[in-house]
């Protein structure tokens, strides 16, 4: 009598990250793939640059040829496919142009994390590439997630107050992006994110957590949105759930390194027994934070 068993094949949703490699594992491709896995999404990657970095510094960066980036995208999508994609560190105008061409070719749903600097302050995007990012990539983005400094570069204006965040979101939307989330983590006041869907403004609120371990938060937040889009969530649902996820990831950061350490991507499966009490008995489906509708600015 045969004892062989047949495996049950369940094809998972797939998501592609187009970004740089972080040798410290806290940001970039590494953070994106961990986040995809945390949401049960199979992660694909196209590496744009290889960085030698830790929690304190980016010691060096090697930008890959744009043709290599394009080939990485093609080879995985030809065979495996993806329901959604995200961009992170794109390094230079040539890579941006190659990525834009492949996005158009594959008609990808794209979340753009407009990475310009590492948490350590080191530049990750050539200044002359900003124009290519703004004019070529943003019109293809379904969602963009700039922090305040990135929003300032994209709009050419000061962005500090809630009003300025709303105006920046509107200006970025005018560049062709469908959904804009201007993140408020750099504010000295309450870290409220402003989400503009093209018609209305919404607030995403969370308590400020006093910690230096926030390396890769932007990568992780945008990757969570991407993973949830791949799973079939609507954009507002994906943004709201991603906010819950990144808040927990910061709260349970493992405290690795002597600088800005990484967040905990698998905090919902953390062995700490108090975790279930912290997020509620029913960890899945995951709770969503409230989105407060603001008055639309004229």
Catalytic residue among 35, 145, 155, 214: 214
Catalytic residue among 86, 119, 183, 243: 183
> Is the Cβ–Cβ distance between 61 and 115 less than 8 Å?
no
Beta bridge partners of 22: 51
Establish whether 121 is a catalytic residue. Answer: no
Catalytic residue among 48, 51, 55, 217: 217
Catalytic residue among 43, 216, 248, 261: 216
Catalytic residue among 20, 24, 88, 218: 218
> Is the Cβ–Cβ distance between 168 and 195 less than 8 Å?
no
Establish whether 280 is a catalytic residue. Answer: no
> Is the Cβ–Cβ distance between 175 and 139 less than 8 Å?
yes
Establish whether 217 is a catalytic residue. Answer: yes
Could you give phi then psi for residue 96, rounded to 5 degrees?
-60, -45
Catalytic residue among 28, 48, 184, 219: 219
Establish whether 214 is a catalytic residue. Answer: yes
Which DSSP state fits 274? Answer: T
Q: Residue 253: which region, alpha, beta or left (left: phi > 0; alpha: psi -120 to 50)?
A: beta
Q: Which two tokens stand for residue 263?
A: 């967040």
CA dist., res. 172 & res. 198, Å (int): 10
| Catalytically annotated residues | 183, 214, 216-219
């Amino acid at each position: 009598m045969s004892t062989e068993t047949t495996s049950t094949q369940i094809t998972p949703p797939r998501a592609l990250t187009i970004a740089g490699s972080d040798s410290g594992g806290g940001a970039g491709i590494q953070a994106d793939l961990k986040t995809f896995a945390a949401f049960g999404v199979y992660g694909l990657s196209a590496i744009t640059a290889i960085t030698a970095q830790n929690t304190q510094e980016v010691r060096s960066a090697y930008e890959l040829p744009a043709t290599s980036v394009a080939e990485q995208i093609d080879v995985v999508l030809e065979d495996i496919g993806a329901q959604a994609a995200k961009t992170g560190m794109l390094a230079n105008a040539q890579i941006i142009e190659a990525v834009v061409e492949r996005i158009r070719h594959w008609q990808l749903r794209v979340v753009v994390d407009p990475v310009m600097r590492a948490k350590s302050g080191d530049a990750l995007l050539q200044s002359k590439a900003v124009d290519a990012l703004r004019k070529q990539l943003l019109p293809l983005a379904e969602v963009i997630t700039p922090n305040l400094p990135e929003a300032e570069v994209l709009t050419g204006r000061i962005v500090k107050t809630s009003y300025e965040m709303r105006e920046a979101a509107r200006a970025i939307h005018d560049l062709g992006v469908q959904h804009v989330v201007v993140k408020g983590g750099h504010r000295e006041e309450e870290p409220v994110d402003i989400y503009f869907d093209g018609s209305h403004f919404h607030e995403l609120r969370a308590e400020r957590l006093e910690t230096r371990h926030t390396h890769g938060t932007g990568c992780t937040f945008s990757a969570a949105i991407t993973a949830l889009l791949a799973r079939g969530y609507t954009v507002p649902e994906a943004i709201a759930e991603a906010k819950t996820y990144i808040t927990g990831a910061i709260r349970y950061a493992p405290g690795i390194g002597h600088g800005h350490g990484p967040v905990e991507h698998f905090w919902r499966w953390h062995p700490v027994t108090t975790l279930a009490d912290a997020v509620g008995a029913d960890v899945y489906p995951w709770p969503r934070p409230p989105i407060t509708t603001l008055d639309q600015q004229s």
